[in-house]
Amino acid sequence: MNVEIFGYFAAILTTAAFLPQLIKTLKTKKANDVSLTTLVMFILGVLSWIIYGYNISSNPILIANLITLILNLLILIAKVYFSKTFNQQ
């Protein structure tokens, strides 16, 4: 059995996982319970995974983290926007 399958399965799951969070945040127009520190640290970490994946030529790591980066940047933008627009606190 090709071990790359686990890599791609992992890549799809840990990438697609952030789509429900983005949809929930856009629907409820708030993400107060989502930690800003977590989002910023996670985005910086994902950027590092992209560099690592590129260097060890791991396509699952590279592709997964590129999409994860985009989704988490959108969650971060939505959180900051909604907290300024709808939930002054």
The residue ranges that bind a copy of itself (CB under 8 A) are: 3, 6-7, 9-21, 23-25, 28, 30-35, 37-39, 41-42, 44-46, 48-49, 51-52, 55-56, 58, 60-61
- Closest distance to a copy of itself from the beta carbon of 29 (Å): 10
Residues 6 or more apart whose CB falls under 8 angstroms from that of 78 comprise 22, 25, 26, 31
Nearest 5°: phi and psi at 34?
-85, 125
Give which of 11, 87, 34, 12 is closest to 74, Cα–Cα. 34
- Closest distance to a copy of itself from the beta carbon of 78 (Å): 11
- Closest distance to a copy of itself from the beta carbon of 68 (Å): 9
- Closest distance to a copy of itself from the beta carbon of 42 (Å): 4
Give the E-state strand segments of 3-71 in sequence order.
none
Nearer to a copy of itself, 21 or 70 (CB): 21
Using the Cα atoms of residue 9, residue 26, residue 74 and residue 31 in order, give the sign of their dihedral: negative
